[in-house]
């Protein structure tokens, strides 16, 4: 029968693996949200008022943005797009051709 330290170690590894999966999913969500705006990382970070390195860490999966921050960012992007205050660069590039 495994000892307590062995069980604890296995639980910590599983928890760490789960956190990695969550960070990866969260980073993909942020990248996807940013791409909806047509902004690069620097532009999006400035527009959201988030330090560039923080945004970079979130997008690269180094750290995970709090859920409420992602929810607020998604809300802002959605509303600004609906109001016409945010024009996707992709649309401008297509119109210029």
Number of domains in the chain: 1
pLDDT of residue 95: 44
CATH number of the CATH domain containing 10: 1.10.260
- Please tell me the distance from the alpha carbon of residue 45 to that of residue 47, in angstroms, as a whole number: 6
- Residues 37-79: tens digit of each pLDDT: 999 999 999 999 999 999 999 999 999 999 999 999 999 999 9
Domain that holds residue 56: 4-96
DSSP state of 39: -
Helix runs in 1-97, H state only: 4-37, 41-48, 52-60, 67-83, 89-96
pTM > 0.75: no
Tokens of 59: 């997008």
């Amino acid at each position: 029968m495994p000892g307590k330290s062995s069980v604890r170690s296995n639980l910590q590894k599983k928890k760490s693996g789960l956190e990695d999966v969550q960070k990866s999913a969260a980073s993909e969500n942020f990248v996807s949200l940013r791409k909806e705006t047509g902004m690069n990382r620097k532009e999006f970070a400035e527009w959201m008022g988030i330090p560039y390195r923080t945004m970079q860490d979130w997008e690269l999966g180094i750290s995970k943005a709090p859920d409420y921050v992602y929810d607020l960012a998604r809300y802002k992007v959605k509303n600004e797009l609906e109001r016409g205050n945010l024009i996707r660069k992709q649309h401008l590039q297509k119109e210029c051709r």
